[in-house]
Structure 1
Protein backbone atom coordinates (compact mmCIF):
# COMPACT_ATOMS: atom_id res chain seq x y z
CA UNK A 1 0.00 0.00 0.00
CA UNK A 2 2.76 2.45 0.93
CA UNK A 3 4.58 2.10 -2.41
CA UNK A 4 1.76 3.27 -4.72
CA UNK A 5 0.77 6.07 -2.34
CA UNK A 6 4.34 7.37 -2.31
CA UNK A 7 4.55 7.26 -6.13
CA UNK A 8 1.25 9.14 -6.42
CA UNK A 9 2.49 11.72 -3.92
CA UNK A 10 5.78 12.15 -5.75
CA UNK A 11 4.01 12.53 -9.09
CA UNK A 12 1.66 15.13 -7.65
CA UNK A 13 4.55 17.04 -6.12
CA UNK A 14 6.39 17.02 -9.46
CA UNK A 15 3.34 18.38 -11.28
CA UNK A 16 2.89 21.10 -8.67
CA UNK A 17 6.55 22.06 -8.96
CA UNK A 18 6.36 22.11 -12.76
CA UNK A 19 3.24 24.30 -12.66
CA UNK A 20 4.89 26.68 -10.20
CA UNK A 21 7.99 26.87 -12.42
CA UNK A 22 5.81 27.74 -15.42
CA UNK A 23 4.09 30.52 -13.50
CA UNK A 24 7.41 31.95 -12.33
CA UNK A 25 8.83 31.77 -15.83
CA UNK A 26 5.80 33.55 -17.31
CA UNK A 27 5.92 36.32 -14.68
CA UNK A 28 9.63 36.79 -15.29
CA UNK A 29 9.23 36.79 -19.07
CA UNK A 30 6.47 39.37 -19.04
CA UNK A 31 8.40 41.65 -16.71
CA UNK A 32 11.58 41.43 -18.79
CA UNK A 33 9.81 41.82 -22.14
CA UNK A 34 8.22 45.03 -20.82
CA UNK A 35 11.21 46.53 -19.03
CA UNK A 36 14.12 45.32 -21.16
CA UNK A 37 12.42 44.67 -24.49
CA UNK A 38 11.64 41.44 -26.27
CA UNK A 39 14.70 41.56 -28.52
CA UNK A 40 17.13 42.20 -25.66
CA UNK A 41 15.71 39.50 -23.42
CA UNK A 42 17.23 36.03 -23.67
CA UNK A 43 16.02 32.70 -22.35
CA UNK A 44 18.96 32.81 -19.94
CA UNK A 45 17.72 36.18 -18.65
CA UNK A 46 14.24 34.78 -18.08
CA UNK A 47 15.64 31.72 -16.33
CA UNK A 48 17.78 33.83 -14.01
CA UNK A 49 14.84 36.12 -13.17
CA UNK A 50 12.59 33.11 -12.50
CA UNK A 51 15.24 31.27 -10.46
CA UNK A 52 15.31 28.21 -12.71
CA UNK A 53 17.76 26.68 -15.16
CA UNK A 54 17.55 27.68 -18.85
CA UNK A 55 16.83 24.04 -19.63
CA UNK A 56 13.67 24.32 -17.53
CA UNK A 57 12.46 27.23 -19.63
CA UNK A 58 13.15 25.35 -22.87
CA UNK A 59 11.43 22.23 -21.54
CA UNK A 60 8.32 24.22 -20.61
CA UNK A 61 8.07 26.56 -23.61
CA UNK A 62 10.48 25.32 -26.30
CA UNK A 63 11.63 28.79 -27.47
CA UNK A 64 11.26 32.52 -26.91
CA UNK A 65 8.43 33.12 -29.44
CA UNK A 66 6.35 30.39 -27.76
CA UNK A 67 7.11 31.97 -24.40
CA UNK A 68 5.95 35.37 -25.68
CA UNK A 69 2.75 33.87 -27.03
CA UNK A 70 1.91 32.17 -23.74
CA UNK A 71 2.82 35.26 -21.73
CA UNK A 72 0.37 37.25 -23.83
CA UNK A 73 -2.43 34.70 -23.39
CA UNK A 74 -1.97 34.73 -19.62
CA UNK A 75 -1.91 38.54 -19.54
CA UNK A 76 -5.16 38.74 -21.51
CA UNK A 77 -7.00 36.18 -19.41
CA UNK A 78 -5.48 37.16 -16.09
CA UNK A 79 -4.56 33.56 -15.25
CA UNK A 80 -3.07 30.46 -16.88
CA UNK A 81 -6.38 28.69 -17.61
CA UNK A 82 -6.91 27.79 -21.26
CA UNK A 83 -10.22 29.62 -21.47
CA UNK A 84 -10.68 32.24 -24.24
CA UNK A 85 -11.54 35.71 -22.99
CA UNK A 86 -14.92 35.71 -24.73
CA UNK A 87 -15.87 32.53 -22.87
CA UNK A 88 -15.06 33.88 -19.41
CA UNK A 89 -17.91 34.78 -17.04
CA UNK A 90 -17.34 38.54 -17.09
CA UNK A 91 -17.65 38.60 -20.89
CA UNK A 92 -20.61 36.22 -21.01
CA UNK A 93 -22.39 38.52 -18.56
CA UNK A 94 -21.84 41.44 -20.95
CA UNK A 95 -23.42 39.61 -23.87
CA UNK A 96 -26.39 38.77 -21.68
CA UNK A 97 -27.06 42.45 -20.88
CA UNK A 98 -30.01 43.59 -23.06
CA UNK A 99 -29.47 47.36 -22.73
CA UNK A 100 -26.67 48.43 -25.06
CA UNK A 101 -25.74 51.56 -23.10
CA UNK A 102 -25.32 49.50 -19.96
CA UNK A 103 -23.42 46.84 -21.89
CA UNK A 104 -20.89 49.26 -23.39
CA UNK A 105 -20.43 50.98 -20.03
CA UNK A 106 -19.72 47.65 -18.36
CA UNK A 107 -17.51 46.52 -21.25
CA UNK A 108 -15.36 49.63 -20.75
CA UNK A 109 -14.77 48.59 -17.13
CA UNK A 110 -13.77 45.08 -18.20
CA UNK A 111 -11.52 46.45 -20.93
CA UNK A 112 -9.77 48.81 -18.51
CA UNK A 113 -8.85 45.84 -16.32
CA UNK A 114 -7.55 43.95 -19.36
CA UNK A 115 -5.49 46.98 -20.39
CA UNK A 116 -3.92 47.09 -16.95
CA UNK A 117 -2.60 43.57 -17.60
CA UNK A 118 -1.75 43.85 -21.30
CA UNK A 119 -1.05 47.42 -22.47
CA UNK A 120 2.62 47.51 -21.47
CA UNK A 121 3.31 44.11 -23.02
CA UNK A 122 1.49 45.13 -26.19
CA UNK A 123 3.66 48.24 -26.47
CA UNK A 124 6.77 46.11 -25.96
CA UNK A 125 5.71 43.73 -28.72
CA UNK A 126 4.90 46.65 -31.01
CA UNK A 127 8.29 48.22 -30.33
CA UNK A 128 10.11 44.99 -31.18
CA UNK A 129 8.07 44.20 -34.30
CA UNK A 130 10.22 46.26 -36.66
CA UNK A 131 13.35 44.23 -35.97
CA UNK A 132 12.10 40.93 -34.55
CA UNK A 133 10.12 38.66 -36.91
CA UNK A 134 8.63 36.73 -34.00
CA UNK A 135 7.36 39.94 -32.43
CA UNK A 136 5.94 41.12 -35.76
CA UNK A 137 4.10 37.81 -36.17
CA UNK A 138 2.81 38.05 -32.60
CA UNK A 139 1.61 41.62 -33.16
CA UNK A 140 -0.27 40.59 -36.29
CA UNK A 141 -1.86 37.70 -34.40
CA UNK A 142 -2.87 39.95 -31.50
CA UNK A 143 -4.54 42.43 -33.86
CA UNK A 144 -6.28 39.64 -35.80
CA UNK A 145 -7.66 38.03 -32.65
CA UNK A 146 -8.81 41.36 -31.27
CA UNK A 147 -10.55 42.24 -34.55
CA UNK A 148 -12.41 38.91 -34.41
CA UNK A 149 -13.35 39.54 -30.78
CA UNK A 150 -14.62 43.06 -31.50
CA UNK A 151 -16.57 41.61 -34.41
CA UNK A 152 -18.38 39.35 -31.94
CA UNK A 153 -19.18 42.35 -29.76
CA UNK A 154 -20.44 44.30 -32.79
CA UNK A 155 -22.66 41.44 -33.99
CA UNK A 156 -24.16 41.08 -30.54
CA UNK A 157 -24.67 44.84 -30.34
CA UNK A 158 -26.42 44.92 -33.72
CA UNK A 159 -28.71 42.10 -32.60
CA UNK A 160 -30.14 44.34 -29.86
CA UNK A 161 -31.53 46.78 -32.44
CA UNK A 162 -30.00 49.63 -30.44
CA UNK A 163 -26.87 50.22 -32.52
CA UNK A 164 -26.71 53.66 -34.14
CA UNK A 165 -23.99 52.79 -36.67
CA UNK A 166 -23.26 49.87 -38.95
CA UNK A 167 -21.99 46.63 -37.44
CA UNK A 168 -18.72 47.12 -39.34
CA UNK A 169 -18.24 50.63 -37.94
CA UNK A 170 -18.97 49.42 -34.43
CA UNK A 171 -16.38 46.67 -34.81
CA UNK A 172 -13.76 49.06 -36.13
CA UNK A 173 -14.33 51.67 -33.42
CA UNK A 174 -14.08 49.04 -30.68
CA UNK A 175 -10.98 47.56 -32.29
CA UNK A 176 -9.28 50.95 -32.64
CA UNK A 177 -9.90 51.93 -29.02
CA UNK A 178 -8.84 48.68 -27.33
CA UNK A 179 -5.22 48.20 -28.38
CA UNK A 180 -3.78 49.83 -25.24
CA UNK A 181 -2.65 53.10 -26.82
CA UNK A 182 -5.42 55.23 -25.27
CA UNK A 183 -5.02 53.51 -21.91
CA UNK A 184 -1.25 54.10 -21.96
CA UNK A 185 -1.55 57.77 -22.87
CA UNK A 186 -4.32 58.64 -20.43
CA UNK A 187 -3.57 56.37 -17.47
CA UNK A 188 0.21 56.13 -17.55
CA UNK A 189 1.17 59.40 -19.22
CA UNK A 190 -1.63 61.68 -18.02
CA UNK A 191 -2.13 59.96 -14.64
CA UNK A 192 -5.83 59.22 -15.05
CA UNK A 193 -7.19 56.65 -12.62
CA UNK A 194 -8.42 53.38 -14.03
CA UNK A 195 -11.94 54.27 -12.94
CA UNK A 196 -11.84 57.62 -14.72
CA UNK A 197 -10.52 55.96 -17.87
CA UNK A 198 -13.23 53.27 -17.84
CA UNK A 199 -15.99 55.84 -17.32
CA UNK A 200 -14.67 58.00 -20.17
CA UNK A 201 -14.31 55.05 -22.53
CA UNK A 202 -17.83 53.92 -21.75
CA UNK A 203 -19.19 57.38 -22.52
CA UNK A 204 -17.22 57.48 -25.76
CA UNK A 205 -18.68 54.17 -26.93
CA UNK A 206 -22.23 55.03 -25.87
CA UNK A 207 -22.12 58.43 -27.56
CA UNK A 208 -20.50 57.14 -30.73
CA UNK A 209 -22.25 53.83 -31.19
CA UNK A 210 -25.66 53.69 -29.53
CA UNK A 211 -28.74 55.02 -31.30
Structure 2
Protein backbone atom coordinates (compact mmCIF):
# COMPACT_ATOMS: atom_id res chain seq x y z
CA UNK A 1 0.00 0.00 0.00
CA UNK A 2 1.35 3.43 -0.89
CA UNK A 3 1.48 6.08 1.80
CA UNK A 4 1.43 9.71 0.61
CA UNK A 5 3.54 12.09 2.67
CA UNK A 6 2.01 15.54 3.14
CA UNK A 7 3.41 18.69 4.71
CA UNK A 8 1.63 21.50 6.48
CA UNK A 9 2.38 24.84 4.70
CA UNK A 10 1.86 26.68 7.99
CA UNK A 11 4.72 24.83 9.66
CA UNK A 12 8.36 25.90 9.06
CA UNK A 13 10.27 23.42 6.96
CA UNK A 14 13.55 22.11 8.29
CA UNK A 15 16.29 20.36 6.39
CA UNK A 16 17.15 16.85 7.50
CA UNK A 17 20.41 16.76 9.46
CA UNK A 18 23.31 15.13 7.69
CA UNK A 19 24.71 12.18 9.49
CA UNK A 20 28.12 10.63 9.21
CA UNK A 21 27.73 7.39 7.25
CA UNK A 22 27.76 4.33 9.47
CA UNK A 23 31.26 2.92 9.75
CA UNK A 24 32.96 6.07 8.40
CA UNK A 25 36.14 7.04 10.23
CA UNK A 26 36.08 10.48 11.84
CA UNK A 27 39.59 11.93 11.74
CA UNK A 28 40.39 13.98 14.80
CA UNK A 29 42.14 17.23 13.96
CA UNK A 30 44.28 17.17 17.10
CA UNK A 31 45.65 13.76 16.08
CA UNK A 32 46.36 15.03 12.56
CA UNK A 33 48.27 18.03 13.92
CA UNK A 34 50.22 15.81 16.32
CA UNK A 35 51.30 13.63 13.40
CA UNK A 36 52.35 16.65 11.34
CA UNK A 37 54.42 17.99 14.23
CA UNK A 38 55.99 14.57 14.67
CA UNK A 39 57.01 14.56 10.99
CA UNK A 40 59.09 17.72 11.46
CA UNK A 41 60.71 16.36 14.61
CA UNK A 42 61.45 13.00 13.02
CA UNK A 43 62.91 14.61 9.89
CA UNK A 44 65.20 16.72 12.04
CA UNK A 45 66.22 13.74 14.17
CA UNK A 46 66.87 11.01 11.59
CA UNK A 47 66.37 12.50 8.09
CA UNK A 48 63.99 11.46 5.34
CA UNK A 49 65.79 8.26 4.33
CA UNK A 50 65.70 6.77 7.86
CA UNK A 51 62.30 8.19 8.77
CA UNK A 52 59.52 5.61 9.14
CA UNK A 53 55.79 5.58 9.74
CA UNK A 54 56.48 3.61 12.92
CA UNK A 55 58.82 6.33 14.21
CA UNK A 56 56.36 9.10 13.34
CA UNK A 57 53.49 7.27 15.06
CA UNK A 58 55.58 6.63 18.16
CA UNK A 59 56.67 10.26 18.38
CA UNK A 60 53.07 11.47 17.89
CA UNK A 61 51.78 9.05 20.49
CA UNK A 62 49.38 7.31 18.10
CA UNK A 63 49.15 3.96 16.37
CA UNK A 64 50.37 3.35 12.81
CA UNK A 65 46.77 2.94 11.72
CA UNK A 66 46.08 6.59 12.58
CA UNK A 67 48.85 7.65 10.20
CA UNK A 68 47.78 5.35 7.36
CA UNK A 69 44.18 6.56 7.62
CA UNK A 70 45.43 9.98 6.59
CA UNK A 71 48.38 9.26 4.28
CA UNK A 72 49.14 6.12 2.32
CA UNK A 73 52.93 6.39 2.51
CA UNK A 74 55.84 8.25 4.05
CA UNK A 75 56.36 10.17 0.82
CA UNK A 76 52.79 11.41 0.64
CA UNK A 77 52.92 12.42 4.30
CA UNK A 78 56.04 14.53 3.81
CA UNK A 79 54.70 16.06 0.59
CA UNK A 80 51.50 17.04 2.38
CA UNK A 81 53.37 18.64 5.27
CA UNK A 82 55.67 20.60 2.93
CA UNK A 83 52.70 21.78 0.86
CA UNK A 84 50.80 22.82 4.00
CA UNK A 85 53.72 24.98 5.11
CA UNK A 86 53.85 26.55 1.64
CA UNK A 87 50.19 27.51 1.80
CA UNK A 88 50.76 29.25 5.14
CA UNK A 89 53.22 31.53 3.38
CA UNK A 90 54.92 34.63 4.73
CA UNK A 91 53.32 38.02 5.41
CA UNK A 92 53.86 40.56 2.63
CA UNK A 93 55.64 43.65 4.02
CA UNK A 94 54.18 47.06 3.26
CA UNK A 95 56.54 49.62 4.78
CA UNK A 96 56.37 52.06 1.87
CA UNK A 97 59.93 51.50 0.65
CA UNK A 98 61.85 48.74 -1.08
CA UNK A 99 64.61 48.69 1.53
CA UNK A 100 62.09 48.59 4.38
CA UNK A 101 60.14 45.75 2.79
CA UNK A 102 63.30 43.75 2.20
CA UNK A 103 64.47 44.33 5.76
CA UNK A 104 61.19 43.00 7.14
CA UNK A 105 61.22 40.01 4.79
CA UNK A 106 64.78 39.16 5.84
CA UNK A 107 63.90 39.40 9.52
CA UNK A 108 61.00 36.95 9.25
CA UNK A 109 62.87 34.59 6.93
CA UNK A 110 66.07 34.52 8.97
CA UNK A 111 64.16 33.61 12.12
CA UNK A 112 62.46 30.75 10.31
CA UNK A 113 65.69 29.46 8.73
CA UNK A 114 67.58 29.57 12.05
CA UNK A 115 65.00 27.42 13.79
CA UNK A 116 66.80 24.22 14.90
CA UNK A 117 64.25 21.92 13.25
CA UNK A 118 64.07 23.85 9.98
CA UNK A 119 67.84 24.14 9.68
CA UNK A 120 68.07 20.34 9.87
CA UNK A 121 65.16 19.56 7.55
CA UNK A 122 65.90 21.82 4.57
CA UNK A 123 69.33 20.40 3.59
CA UNK A 124 68.02 16.85 3.99
CA UNK A 125 64.95 17.43 1.82
CA UNK A 126 67.07 19.15 -0.81
CA UNK A 127 69.31 16.10 -0.98
CA UNK A 128 66.23 13.88 -1.36
CA UNK A 129 64.83 16.23 -4.03
CA UNK A 130 67.84 15.47 -6.21
CA UNK A 131 66.72 11.82 -6.23
CA UNK A 132 62.94 12.17 -6.02
CA UNK A 133 61.05 14.32 -8.57
CA UNK A 134 57.92 14.47 -6.37
CA UNK A 135 59.83 15.95 -3.45
CA UNK A 136 61.61 18.34 -5.82
CA UNK A 137 58.25 19.52 -7.16
CA UNK A 138 56.85 20.01 -3.64
CA UNK A 139 59.88 22.04 -2.56
CA UNK A 140 59.69 24.17 -5.69
CA UNK A 141 56.03 24.85 -4.96
CA UNK A 142 56.91 25.77 -1.40
CA UNK A 143 59.49 28.27 -2.61
CA UNK A 144 57.15 29.78 -5.18
CA UNK A 145 54.34 30.22 -2.66
CA UNK A 146 56.64 31.18 0.16
CA UNK A 147 59.51 33.63 0.02
CA UNK A 148 59.65 33.96 -3.77
CA UNK A 149 55.93 34.79 -3.85
CA UNK A 150 56.41 37.51 -1.26
CA UNK A 151 59.54 38.80 -3.01
CA UNK A 152 57.60 39.11 -6.27
CA UNK A 153 54.98 41.26 -4.53
CA UNK A 154 57.73 43.43 -3.04
CA UNK A 155 59.13 44.00 -6.53
CA UNK A 156 55.70 44.93 -7.88
CA UNK A 157 55.29 47.50 -5.11
CA UNK A 158 58.77 48.93 -5.75
CA UNK A 159 58.02 49.22 -9.47
CA UNK A 160 54.73 51.01 -8.78
CA UNK A 161 56.55 53.50 -6.53
CA UNK A 162 59.20 54.06 -9.20
CA UNK A 163 62.04 52.65 -7.08
CA UNK A 164 63.02 50.11 -9.76
CA UNK A 165 62.54 50.21 -13.49
CA UNK A 166 59.74 48.37 -15.22
CA UNK A 167 60.60 45.15 -17.01
CA UNK A 168 63.25 43.83 -14.64
CA UNK A 169 64.65 40.36 -15.15
CA UNK A 170 62.41 38.69 -12.58
CA UNK A 171 64.54 35.59 -12.09
CA UNK A 172 67.70 37.59 -11.55
CA UNK A 173 65.91 39.96 -9.18
CA UNK A 174 64.53 37.06 -7.13
CA UNK A 175 68.00 35.49 -6.99
CA UNK A 176 69.39 38.75 -5.61
CA UNK A 177 66.65 38.94 -2.98
CA UNK A 178 66.59 35.35 -1.80
CA UNK A 179 70.02 33.91 -2.54
CA UNK A 180 72.41 35.68 -0.14
CA UNK A 181 70.36 35.16 3.03
CA UNK A 182 69.68 31.53 2.23
CA UNK A 183 73.37 30.88 1.53
CA UNK A 184 74.53 32.63 4.71
CA UNK A 185 71.93 31.05 7.00
CA UNK A 186 71.54 27.52 5.66
CA UNK A 187 74.86 26.77 3.96
CA UNK A 188 77.60 28.92 5.49
CA UNK A 189 76.36 29.63 9.03
CA UNK A 190 74.02 26.60 9.41
CA UNK A 191 71.62 28.21 11.88
CA UNK A 192 74.19 30.29 13.81
CA UNK A 193 73.29 33.81 14.84
CA UNK A 194 73.91 36.43 12.17
CA UNK A 195 76.36 39.29 12.85
CA UNK A 196 74.87 42.47 14.26
CA UNK A 197 73.61 44.75 11.50
CA UNK A 198 73.85 42.03 8.83
CA UNK A 199 70.19 42.19 7.80
CA UNK A 200 70.30 46.00 7.57
CA UNK A 201 73.37 45.84 5.35
CA UNK A 202 71.89 43.08 3.22
CA UNK A 203 68.62 44.98 2.68
CA UNK A 204 70.53 48.14 1.75
CA UNK A 205 72.91 46.34 -0.63
CA UNK A 206 70.09 44.37 -2.28
CA UNK A 207 68.08 47.54 -2.78
CA UNK A 208 70.98 49.23 -4.55
CA UNK A 209 71.58 46.15 -6.69
CA UNK A 210 67.93 46.00 -7.76
CA UNK A 211 67.90 49.69 -8.61
CA UNK A 212 70.97 49.16 -10.79
CA UNK A 213 69.38 46.39 -12.90
TM-score where L is the length of structure 1 = 0.69
Aligned CA distance change for structure 1 residues 69 and 160 (closer, same or farther; 3 Å) = farther
Is the aligned partner of 1:176 residue 2:179? yes
Of residues 176, 187, 190 in structure 2, which corresponds to 1:188? 190
Q: Alpha carbon RMSD of aligned pairs, Å?
A: 3.2
Aligned CA distance change for structure 1 residues 36 and 182 (closer, same or farther; 3 Å) = same
The count of corresponding residues between Structure 1 and Structure 2 is 183
More helix by share: 1
Of residues 113, 116, 122 in structure 1, which corresponds to 2:114? 116
Q: Is the 8 A contact 1:72 1:121 kept in 2?
A: no
Of residues 37, 46, 52 in structure 2, which corresponds to 1:27? 37
Of residues 77, 82, 89 in structure 2, which corresponds to 1:85? 89
1:163 is paired with a residue of what secondary structure? coil
2:48 is paired with a residue of what secondary structure? coil
TM-score where L is the length of structure 2 = 0.68
| Counterpart mapping for 1:41-80 below 5 A | 41-73=51-83, 75=85
Task: Give structure 1 stretches of 5+ with no counterpart.
Answer: 1-13, 77-82
Give the greater-gyration-radius structure (CA).
2
Is the aligned partner of 1:142 residue 2:142? yes
Aligned CA distance change for structure 1 residues 112 and 73 (closer, same or farther; 3 Å) = farther
> Deviation of residue 46 (structure 1)?
0.8
> Deviation of residue 206 (structure 1)?
2.8
Other-structure match for 1:126: 126
Task: Give structure 2 stretches of 5+ with no counterpart.
Answer: 1-24
Aligned CA distance change for structure 1 residues 204 and 124 (closer, same or farther; 3 Å) = farther
> Deviation of residue 187 (structure 1)?
4.1
Aligned CA distance change for structure 1 residues 201 and 72 (closer, same or farther; 3 Å) = farther
CA distance in 1, matches of 2:51, 2:30: 21
Other-structure match for 1:6: none
Other-structure match for 1:100: 98
2:207 is paired with a residue of what secondary structure? helix
